[in-house]
Amino acid sequence: MDEWDEVLKEWYPEVLSKKSYPLKISKQYTSGQRWEIYERLTKEQRALVNNHRRYLIQSQFLEENYLIATDWVFEDFRVNPFFRTNRRQEKLFCKCGRELKVQYIVKSKSTGERLTLGISHFAEHLHVSERVATSISQGMTTVDLAMDELLWLKQQNIPFPEALWQKYLLALLYNNRLKKPHVPNKKLILRLGEFRQADFPIYIADYKAIEKEIETIYRQNNTEKRATKLTKNDFLNTKTSVEMDTKEFIETYQAFLQKDLSAIKTTECTHLKLPESFFQELLTFLRTVKKLDSTQLEERIQSFAKTPQGRWIQPHIYSIIVKNYLLYGFKESFFYTIPRPMRNGLLHLLKREREALRSVKHAKTSDSSFTSWLEEKQTQNVESTKQAAFGLMQQFEDLRKRDPSVAKLLEEYLVKMKEENA
């Protein structure tokens, strides 16, 4: 971890204060204490707590099948934080008329009818057994205990673990460069993004889970002995993408880790592997977009996505590729921001181009040597050799213009002719 600490220390020294994060608590609030802390939260923090509590309740109902023998399903819950106070409030009621602090809403699967209930009235109004009603009540107590952990952390002024968050983003950059990358926990990073947005501490279990994810990536990095050098801009661009739209980032990130086309191809694509002709078209397309304005750029992307081969890949993938091409060009960082199948195809084609260019440059050097040999032969008045050599040179030029890949073969042939006529 020390290497990553040093990188972050260079870029973001202000977030690396060594504040410890509680790793174990055992706290259960009374209902009154719970609501006292809740009332001091900001509007955004209350929304976070409510949404997360809703998720926990929904999960509890689904996992325990409380209402499986009935026509009812859990739909929602509502909270009155100012229950039985003089503050202005929207009062909540049970079907029987009793005022509630927490109101549970269930819906009939057959009729769509909705009922509003207090936790103690499930047996009475839904006709479930007392045993099931007791299980529901116990399940809601489990939810309250989970929420008590968050409320306790907030009451202790424990902040969102910003240093851990940034270490995780750095780990994701390393991870994308691995031959065997770790697939990150989508739900976990989405939850962290929400908690960070609300400036709220995270569950201790989530803190430990992120540490484990970082360690998994770091260990794999050491296994592969990857000496990856990341720039500050690489990190900032990733950080910006995550914070602008965490959901889009993690979905794209996971899809781009796959080595096959399943996550990016359209239904029109029947290929397991894209042909070289596709990458030749994509390469030509990318080299035409640099000077376009935003409107022209979008039109060009849509146009390419409708070509016979362009239709094989989802259009929004091209938008991501173009955005990063304009940002990086064909630098190393570009290839780690696009899908692996696209990365490998483009790298292979560009490597071929570089090899062809080297062959042409080498051929030009051979031309110079060949010219010197011709001049030497001219002084010896070897007219037939001179004419043959010029004929070969003409053929060499014609073939090289049509297909640079044959330059090396022609060069070897000319060298052979030179040796035979020396």
Out of 139, 155, 171, a domain closes at 155
Domain shared by 145 and 170, yes or no: no
Domain shared by 291 and 312, yes or no: yes
Q: Is the pLDDT of residue 2 over 70?
A: no
Tell me how crowded residue 43 is: count the other CB atoms within 10 A of its CB: 8
Residue 169 has what pLDDT? Answer: 92
Domain shared by 75 and 164, yes or no: no
Residue 10 has what pLDDT? Answer: 64
Q: Is the pLDDT of residue 363 over 90?
A: no
Between CA 110 and CA 4 the distance in angstroms is 56
Domain shared by 40 and 149, yes or no: yes
Which residues are 265's β-sheet partners?
Answer: 313
Q: Does 69 fall in a domain?
A: yes
Domain shared by 102 and 76, yes or no: yes
Percentage of the residues of the chain whose pLDDT score is greater than 70: 80
Q: Is the pLDDT of residue 395 over 60?
A: no
Q: Does 136 fall in a domain?
A: yes
Token pair 């499930």 in the structure block, residue: 122
Supply 104's token pair: 């549970």
Q: Is the pLDDT of residue 227 over 70?
A: no
Q: Does 403 fall in a domain?
A: yes
Regarding predicted confidence, which is higher, 365 or 326?
Answer: 326
SS3 124: helix
Domain shared by 285 and 320, yes or no: yes
Q: Is the pLDDT of residue 6 over 80?
A: no
Q: Is the pLDDT of residue 183 over 60?
A: yes
SS3 59: helix
Residue 101 belongs to domain spanning: 31-155
Domain shared by 11 and 127, yes or no: no
Between CA 10 and CA 7 the distance in angstroms is 5
- Asked which of 17-26, 263-272, 358-367 is least confident by mean pLDDT, the reply is 358-367
Q: Does 391 fall in a domain?
A: yes
Q: Does 344 fall in a domain?
A: no
**Residue 123 — very low, low, confident or very high, per pLDDT cuts 50/70/90?**
confident
Long-range contacts of 342-349 (CB under 8 A, 24+ apart): 342/264, 342/282, 342/313, 342/317, 345/274, 345/276, 345/278, 345/279, 345/282, 346/279, 346/282, 346/283, 348/276, 348/279, 349/276, 349/279, 349/280, 349/283
H or E element in which residue 206 lies? helix 204-224
Q: What's the average model confidence in pLDDT over 266-275?
A: 93
- Write down the mean pLDDT value for the chain: 83
Domain shared by 198 and 222, yes or no: yes
How many residues are recorded in the chain? 422
Regarding predicted confidence, which is higher, 20 or 290?
Answer: 290
Domain shared by 220 and 332, yes or no: no
Domain shared by 224 and 185, yes or no: yes
Domain shared by 246 and 291, yes or no: no
Tell me how crowded residue 336 is: count the other CB atoms within 10 A of its CB: 19
Of 315, 294, 291, 312, nearest in space to 303 by CA: 315
Number of domains in the chain: 4
Question: What does residue 12 show for φ and ψ, rounded to 5 degrees?
Answer: -135, 65
Residue 34 has what pLDDT? Answer: 87
Is the distance from CB of 142 to CB of 61 less than 8 angstroms? Answer: no
Taking only the tens place, the pLDDT of each residue in 322-353 is: 999 999 999 888 999 999 999 989 998 888 88
Q: Does 101 fall in a domain?
A: yes
Q: Which residues of 111-144 are buried (b: 16+ CB within 10 A; e: fewer)?
A: eeeebbbbbebbbebbebeeebbebbeebbeebb
Domain shared by 151 and 64, yes or no: yes
Q: Does 26 fall in a domain?
A: no
Residue 346 has what pLDDT? Answer: 93
Residue 11 has what pLDDT? Answer: 60
Total-model pTM? 0.74
